[in-house]
Amino acid sequence: MAIKKFDTKTLDHILEQMIETVGSSKDEIFQIGEQCRQDYDSIIEELKEVKRMVAQMINEGDKLDVQVRFARKRLSEVSKHFKDYTESEVREAYEIAHKLQMDLTMNRQLEKQLRDRRDDLERRLCGLTETIQRAEHLVSQISVVMNYLMSDLRQMGEALENARQKQDFGLKIIEAQEEERKRLSREIHDGPAQMLANVMMRSDLIEKIYKERSAEEAIIEIRSLKKTVRSALYEVRRIIYDLRPMALDDLGLVPTLKKYLQTIEEYHQTTKIHFTNIGQDRRLPAKYEVALFRMIQESVQNALKHAGADTIQVKLEIKKDSVTVVVKDDGKGFDTNIKKPESFGILGLKERVELLEGELSIHSKIGTGTLIVIQVPLTV
């Protein structure tokens, strides 16, 4: 897959536009915040005046209420003793009561309007307070983004290269997964599947031999069939072990590594593999055991596939707060300064080590073999 080179000038232009856009957005948000502050101060002053007027209306209303009661009492007395008062006195009592009642009604209406205005102003103040806080938060965040854009992102050469490598690595992983599926499919088809098909055919044959010949001949065929079944079981277990050794969950890292490296040595009869555990033989959290096993597996497989090594040495040291892995081979070596398309195994090692917050160092020269050192801190 061809990957186009990225033009750094284009990147700089994009960054400048981003900084300009972010800067103008920051100014606009700041202006919004300032306008909200001005509106907030104005509403605070208006709210003070409205509260003062509400208190005044309440006070006047209380006085009017008292006066209305007296006026009603006076009007009731005049109405009850109508003959004792002149027409002008009756009219005056009625007009005073009516006027005070109208004044009280107007007072209550004004008080209600002022209360509604006060509540509306308080709601607006809450909204403005939230807007001001959000504007301040956004301005702060944008300042951080601008500092980041104006400093770190201008040094993106290495970052882009790492991103390209990770993209390649991701694509390579997908390809490797597909290849692994094909390989497993072929292994299962050519191994256990064929053996099981053969078992079915031979079981029919045994039944025929038992019926047409003798039980002794059938027993001989059954014994031969058991060998075939045992071979199929061995192949299935080998495939499962390659996918994920169950012993890793049951026994732990050290016993599983011993068994795995012994099996690999028996399979690759031309290469000697020496395993040494010089640290504590203890269980680790699952994520460490799986990652360390896969990293050692990848390192050994790289030495077998690419180095043409006669001897591979694997050393493991588990301490209280760290784990150190050393994989050394006497193969043909390689130039660490030259990046090859097939070096995705090394990139995979780096990815796993970074996930565990560890360190990876690779020392190799052409003709002198390769030394891989992995150091991982234990946060348990």
Domain ranges of the chain: 8-155, 157-243, 248-380
Q: Any idea which of 19-23, 24-28, 216-220, 343-347 has the lowest mean pLDDT?
A: 343-347
Mind listing the pLDDT tens digit for each residue in 151-180?
655 555 555 555 555 555 555 555 555 565
Q: 87 or 162: whose pLDDT is higher?
A: 87
> Is 181's pLDDT higher than 70?
no
| 157-243 topology per CATH | 1.20.5
Q: What is the pLDDT of residue 380?
A: 59
Mind listing the pLDDT tens digit for each residue in 92-102?
888 888 898 89
pLDDT averaged over the chain?
78
3-state SS string over the chain? CCCCCCCHHHHHHHHHHHHHHHHHHHHHHHHHHHHHHHHHHHHHHHHHHHHHHHHHHHHHHHHHHHHHHHHHHHHHHHHHCHHHCCHHHHHHHHHHHHHHHHHHHHHHHHHHHHHHHHHHHHHHHHHHHHHHHHHHHHHHHHHHHHHHHHCHHHCCHHHHHHHHHHHHHHHHHHHHHHHHHHHHHHHHHHHHHHHHHHHHHHHHHHHHHHHHCCHHHHHHHHHHHHHHHHHHHHHHHHHHHHHCCCHHHHCCHHHHHHHHHHHHHHHCCCCEEEEEECCCCCCCCHHHHHHHHHHHHHHHHHHHHHHCCCEEEEEEEECCCEEEEEEEECCCCCCCCCCCCCCHHHHHHHHHHHHCCCEEEEEECCCCCEEEEEEEECCC
Q: 8 or 328: whose pLDDT is higher?
A: 328
Mind listing the pLDDT tens digit for each residue in 103-140?
889 999 999 999 999 999 899 888 888 888 888 888 77
Q: Looking at domain 8-155, which CATH architecture does it have?
A: Orthogonal Bundle (1.10)
Task: Provide mean pLDDT across the span 327-333.
Answer: 89
Q: What is the pLDDT of residue 340?
A: 56
Task: Provide mean pLDDT across the span 342-367.
Answer: 79
Mind listing the pLDDT tens digit for each residue in 184-211?
666 666 666 677 777 777 777 777 777 7
Q: 51 or 11: whose pLDDT is higher?
A: 51
What CATH class does 248-380 carry? alpha beta
Q: What is the pLDDT of residue 245?
A: 65
Task: Provide mean pLDDT across the span 346-350.
Answer: 76
